[in-house]
Structure 1
């Protein structure tokens, strides 16, 4: 059974749009000092807050929800409304979230860091209001979204690394293709950038150069459905693996290549695939060579070099970007003038900002990497592939 895709909304740092991928635009960054970053990063990219008034949630939700929760709630509700209006989700709708860990720095009173991580934790915990931790659990984010949209079907919340967003897609896909739900809302939200962010990941980031990455706040949502109606693409396969040295197994890549070959028609066989890497640039770079070996000529984009490291939001951003690339490719294939799209095609095999994303492809592989070696691969086809699946009755595969 195919898993059809519909683009949701995304919010990127500094209100960036797709131009950051298709032109020379750059994202805004803010310099960090050691009191904020604990010396682990030199700069960060921030996202504006929201008061949730536009999506008409209850006053108690607006008052008690935490900032990074508010991002996901608003983005999820608005994405659902794009396709279903005020229609309730019901028991055949699922909800799957990839979220960062939470903290209590909403008041902006940052704790001074004096080189002792234990002291930082003790001071922070002593300043938390009684029972406030109960409002910060990731499950409350899911509860507020489910209540607002009346989604009562299968659900799951995954934290905290970059692959959390990928695993949210994987579980949504499995629930959909195994007929546990008819539609699934998948959303990913970054952890907000505070001293607690760096404290939470201090051991994982200790070997990463402070100049080699930029933490960023972002949120994005995608909808999966059993129905091909208004589909903007199709999730062809999901593959999960693990590698301590960030080298995927040949068997796993063989399975992806096999699914790609089965989904191609005679006109797309010669077109290179686009690969979008989601994860720290130093880790993603290690995946370029093995993927090039299995997918010769593939264009590879390191997402975190373009918009910063968005953690669990990266998978949903990557899938939305994949759908945008495929949509624009099909527009070009329909003999629309390239000049009207204000895009630039490039031949570089590995793309970093400020290069532009190529469009001559009909399949995109979104590869998500966790800090400790987790891997989730999502193979996506465009509307022509989705239409072909409807015609021949083929379904998607997973591994």
Structure 2
């Protein structure tokens, strides 16, 4: 394993004017592109497979395999769509990447488009981050001016146009098919699968949808090789990763480390817990992933490690909470978010998140009943695996895991209410 402090994806972030094409080229940028254009597209797909690169957007699907699903010789246009919506609470790695080093994404887009035989690519960015959209558009213009985009790129005969598209700030558009509907000008709602985007995506044509961090990794793989990439991280989850640390930590921010790094190691990098107050609970991959506790400090934060411990790696949005935070309160706030962001297309998610919020708000207000915990779990069971997309599954994760590890806190809310009811009954009997 390489030194966890050796930067790969973030190596340009501290360079003066790191976002310009001059800085990018001076620090080795656009050197992978000529190599890629001299290779056969299938060779690039195989190299990506050999590297073991897995999607950094949450699901961890093998990237090379996803590229290989695109049918060839089908007579249809092929498209590449970059999911830069980044709406998961706690996730803040892609926007800094696009702000500090947009050309690493653009070079990755060109190489990926060449590999899947796409002549059009769209970068779908969350609409609220106007500064990021402006910077991306400026970088795209620079790439066109240098001949890295447009017609006959570097004399290879390969043509590619790239568009930066601003979304309207809907969490559901982080789901790839809802993103595609939004990109086509429709209301962002998940599509029924199959058919999958690989055969029927943007404009009903073969489409690859990848995360920003995934595609920004591609130029490094082309330059360094599959074996170099595999030398970092763990066997089934290789490569470098950007971990987002927020909450009660001394120095919150983005920390690049090999896949499989533990929270204990990341906390060391970030200066430990803020004010020395002990860790109580944390999310390994954003609020839609089951909670971890202080007992999970040494869980390897890769796809297998997180899953084996009972959660998910997700987007590595590590939200850290100390002992001053009420678990039911935190769970309530997350559930309010998911209820608000539910697109309403399917009944389990639309109705389920509504009732979960009602129950949690009543409990946190001190009006819980003894049956509320069972009701919460029952509603969660009727959402999990029954929703149209993963939003429903993500909404129940903090609730079920919160009750699993901190049931006493939920029970305390019920006991307080039961005591009030009991006292009122005794008083009423005495007055009678």
Same fold (TM over 0.5): no
The one of the two structures with greater contact order (alpha-carbon pairs below 8 A, sep at least 6) is 1
TM range (shorter): under 0.3
Q: Which has the larger radius of gyration?
A: 2
TM-score normalized with structure 2 length? 0.24
**Structure 1 or 2: larger strand share?**
1
TM-score by length of 1: 0.25
More helix by share: 2
